[in-house]
Structure 1
Amino acid sequence: MNAFKSLVRVFIGSPSICSTNAKEKISSFDCFGKTSEREPMIVNSLTLVSNVLNVTAQQRKLVRLTICPQITQHRIWMGALEKILNELKLEIDLLNFQFPSKGTKMGKQIVYSCLKFLNESAVSYDFDSASWIRLSPAKVVDSPRKWEDVLEMFTDLINCLKSEKDWLCHLKTIEVMKEGVSQIRDVLVDNSIGYKDSRHQESLVQRKLSKTLGHSSRCLFTLLLYYLYGQVRDLEVDLCGAMYGNGIENRLTLCMGRVLTSNEEKMVWSGVKQLDRALGLFKFVWETAGMKGNLELQGHLWFVGPQERFFTYRGNAFFLHGISLGPKIISSKAL
């Protein structure tokens, strides 16, 4: 697949290929004309997004101060951790079925322990439940747990699965989230205490994460992805594109692209949704930073075949480009 995408990048940049934009006069600029604009990109930090958008240091600080109170809420924090652990559990189950090992079996047990910890630590906010009127106990029987317990489990999980790291995408996300867990390691976790005390513990988690997770933090970025899209995996773009001016004052267009193997509807819409998330993230940061000008979003998707079309999705423009395998395309000059 990587080889196929690399070949498509060569085709797109070949002088023998007429750009759809130029041919149909869709835009006053040529997308992906430079080699650097056809490189793949993994969107995995706010710093990368800010660099593409030319966000200043002062504006980056504004972005962080604006989003932190929202994405470090306790329900977002717990939801992201639970999502990561459940996804990792599925990956381990598949790997354990194909290539069982001591590491995968031990890793699965640790994941279950982490999920149990989160589940037992959850406080119900349903007013039909009696948990919100629960009073503090007269005395504590068991020693209180802390987030340090999760930190230790994460460390053990990473160590026992390090040989399978290349097969477990969400193990890398566990490494990312360790940063946040380490910042709240001293905070108590106990749902048997009074409701007000539980809310105080949750507010401590939010305050510590907001204060310590910097703009370049991968952990902060993962929380943002979960907050915006309910996902925790980094966003991948096959052609990073660039921002282009279209001759109209204060209007810029951000173009990015993906490469598909066919124009089957299910595959097309999957590619559109993935591209829309990446573009939407850049627009979110642009608006949060208070950047001047109107940023329009444009997605481009390529597949092998003759059909081409244009459509809108969630208010953004998307272009589906066909790549013909005729003799004019595959030539020594093009390759």
Structure 2
Amino acid sequence: MSPLARGWPYSRLWIIYATAISPCAHAFWSCHRCCRTYHEMQGQALHISSMLDCGNGYHQKGREEDLQLSEQIKCIRSTLGSMGERLKYFYLTDGRLAKLDDNSFVFNISAKKEMQEFKLLAKKFIGCRLQVYDPWKLKSSGSLHLPFSTPSERDSETFDSLKVVCQYLGLSVPQRRSARKIISPQVIQYDMLRGALEELVRNLDVDLGAIDKPSNKVLAAKEASARSVQLLSQNLSTTGSASWAKLSSYKNFHSPKSKWGDVLESFEVILDALKDVDSLKFYVITIEGMKEGLGHIKNVQLDNNLDFKKIHHRKSYVEHKLVYNLGYTSKCLFTLLVFYLFQSIRSITVDMAGGLYGATEEIPYVSIGEIITSADRKMLWIAVKHLDKALGLIRFISEIIGTKNLKLEGHIWALGAQETTIDYRGNSIFVHAIE
């Protein structure tokens, strides 16, 4: 084995020896340096070559992924088309399936499940398309962030408390408390409370009556809801009448006085009866929330056949009690807020949460989205009004805390739609085709 092959110490001795005895020592040194440089360059070349091979593999992999993505988009679009054809006369609201022609609810578990699968698949389709290009021009507001580009932004969002809306807008805890302090006296009014509760139980009574072959529990819930309607309506004072000038009849004077606690008891019966009825889950959630408020005033009488001063004192007491006890996490407070704004007791759910974009920019904006099965005009306007309600709620809270220049946008995706923009009550609604 040669000294060079045996390692650096041996090669060094051999070089010294060669320098001493060889008349061509200078030539040897030059040759040795060239050999070392050649091997170093060869190693670097091999390293760069391997990097280029990885790069070529990466780009090749990227092209393959693009082809796979395109094929996936076509496959999903085909499936959505088939599902949309079956579901084009239905839409989903409050977690329930409704018919487009008369807005009546359909209690069909398989159809509801297919509608939910349609929306999930449509979200996947939108996510795939956003990876390829931006066909819907979602950067219309000038923000650097593309709306709905992350899976969480394509998740659904249910606004069911003041806390959820405040979190959505990124408000701090002091801001949330401030918002609650301003909102509570506006929405917690005696007549507003009674109106919201009566709306709730009347709607429930109608939906219970629409159930075919009701069970004993459903019948018990229907009886309890009818009693709640009676309790709330029979004690309402006549609009425009002078309560202080009315004389109570002998029958009313000696009849037992009903209390808010009686309504609370009826609600307990309804909850126990309907807790396992999936089609009426919305009512169970809302009644659970309203129980909080009723619990604080359960010992207060409902009867309005009193003089003006006593009625005024009772109303003030109820309002003060609820304003003091209902915090910004309260579902009861939120139900009263929605009833105050929209004369409805429905919580608000959007198919795609979107978010607040450009919070540090001059004009921040909110984007939310809905998915519908067809571009039918009636279906389209149901989606527009639903988005307008959600955006109206967000606008109300943002104005309460003093947010300026906030722009509100809604996006609707529909099969067979044409790309267009609808300006509705100060909001921009963008319609996109699932194509």
TM-score, length-scaled by structure 2: 0.69
Is the 8 Å Cα contact of residues 43 and 236 (structure 1) preserved in structure 2? Answer: yes
In the alignment, residue 184 of structure 1 is paired with which amino acid?
I
Secondary structure of residue in 1 paired with 2:406: strand
Fraction of identical pairs, as percent = 36
Aligned partner of 1:156 in structure 2 is: 269
For residues 78-116 of structure 1, give each alpha carbon's deviation from its aligned partner in whole angstroms, at most 9, with x where no partner exists. 110011001101111112xx1321112221111111111
The alpha-carbon deviation at position 204 of structure 1 amounts to 1.3
Is the 8 Å Cα contact of residues 134 and 195 (structure 1) preserved in structure 2? Answer: no
Aligned partner of 2:259 in structure 1 is: 146
Decide which of 392, 395, 401 is 1:280's aligned counterpart: 392
Is the 8 Å Cα contact of residues 275 and 299 (structure 1) preserved in structure 2? Answer: yes
Aligned partner of 2:375 in structure 1 is: 263
Secondary structure of residue in 2 paired with 1:236: strand
Structure 1 position 113 matched with structure 2 position 227: yes
Q: Distance in 1 between matches of 2:361 and 2:209?
A: 54
Secondary structure of residue in 2 paired with 1:301: strand
Aligned partner of 2:183 in structure 1 is: 67
Superposition pairs of residues 213-252 of structure 1, within 5 angstroms? 213-245=326-358, 249=362, 251-252=363-364
The alpha-carbon deviation at position 189 of structure 1 amounts to 1.7
For residues 178-204 of structure 1, give each alpha carbon's deviation from its aligned partner in whole angstroms, at most 9, with x where no partner exists. 111001112122122212212211111
In the alignment, residue 376 of structure 2 is paired with which amino acid?
E
Q: Distance in 1 between matches of 2:190 and 2:140?
A: 49
Note the residue ranges of structure 2 that are not aligned, 5 or more in a row: 1-114
Q: 1:63 to 1:118 in 2, by over 3 A?
A: same
Q: Distance in 1 between matches of 2:417 and 2:279?
A: 37
Q: Distance in 1 between matches of 2:260 and 2:360?
A: 54
Structure 1 position 205 matched with structure 2 position 321: no
Greater gyration radius? 2
In the alignment, residue 213 of structure 2 is paired with which amino acid?
F
In the alignment, residue 221 of structure 2 is paired with which amino acid?
G
Q: 1:39 to 1:135 in 2, by over 3 A?
A: same
Decide which of 294, 298, 301 is 1:181's aligned counterpart: 294
User: Per chain length, whose mean CA-contact separation is higher, i.e. which structure has more relative contact order (CA < 8 Å, sep 6+)?
Assistant: 1
The alpha-carbon deviation at position 134 of structure 1 amounts to 3.0
Q: Distance in 2 between matches of 1:164 and 1:39?
A: 25
Is the 8 Å Cα contact of residues 120 and 191 (structure 1) preserved in structure 2? Answer: no
Decide which of 282, 301, 308 is 2:419's aligned counterpart: 308
Moved more, 30-39 or 9-18: 9-18
The alpha-carbon deviation at position 135 of structure 1 amounts to 6.2
Decide which of 407, 412, 422 is 1:296's aligned counterpart: 407
Q: Distance in 2 between matches of 1:196 and 1:26?
A: 55
More helix by share: 2
Q: 1:130 to 1:244 in 2, by over 3 A?
A: closer
The alpha-carbon deviation at position 321 of structure 1 amounts to 0.2
Is the 8 Å Cα contact of residues 136 and 194 (structure 1) preserved in structure 2? Answer: no
Q: 1:252 to 1:26 in 2, by over 3 A?
A: closer
Superposition pairs of residues 125-136 of structure 1, within 5 angstroms? 125-126=239-240, 129-134=241-246
Q: Distance in 2 between matches of 1:323 and 1:160?
A: 42
Aligned partner of 1:331 in structure 2 is: none
Q: Distance in 2 between matches of 1:241 and 1:113?
A: 42
Aligned partner of 2:237 in structure 1 is: 123
Structure 1 position 11 matched with structure 2 position 125: yes
In the alignment, residue 131 of structure 1 is paired with which amino acid?
S
Moved more, 210-219 or 4-13: 4-13
Is the 8 Å Cα contact of residues 137 and 193 (structure 1) preserved in structure 2? Answer: no
Q: 1:17 to 1:10 in 2, by over 3 A?
A: farther
Decide which of 153, 159, 162 is 1:43's aligned counterpart: 159
Aligned partner of 2:136 in structure 1 is: 20
Is the 8 Å Cα contact of residues 92 and 168 (structure 1) preserved in structure 2? Answer: no
Taking only aligned residues, the RMSD between alpha carbons, in angstroms, comes to 2.2
Q: How many residues are paired up?
A: 317
The alpha-carbon deviation at position 229 of structure 1 amounts to 0.6
Is the 8 Å Cα contact of residues 296 and 321 (structure 2) preserved in structure 1? Answer: yes
Is the 8 Å Cα contact of residues 421 and 431 (structure 2) preserved in structure 1? Answer: yes
Q: Distance in 1 between matches of 2:199 and 2:140?
A: 44
Is the 8 Å Cα contact of residues 21 and 31 (structure 1) preserved in structure 2? Answer: no
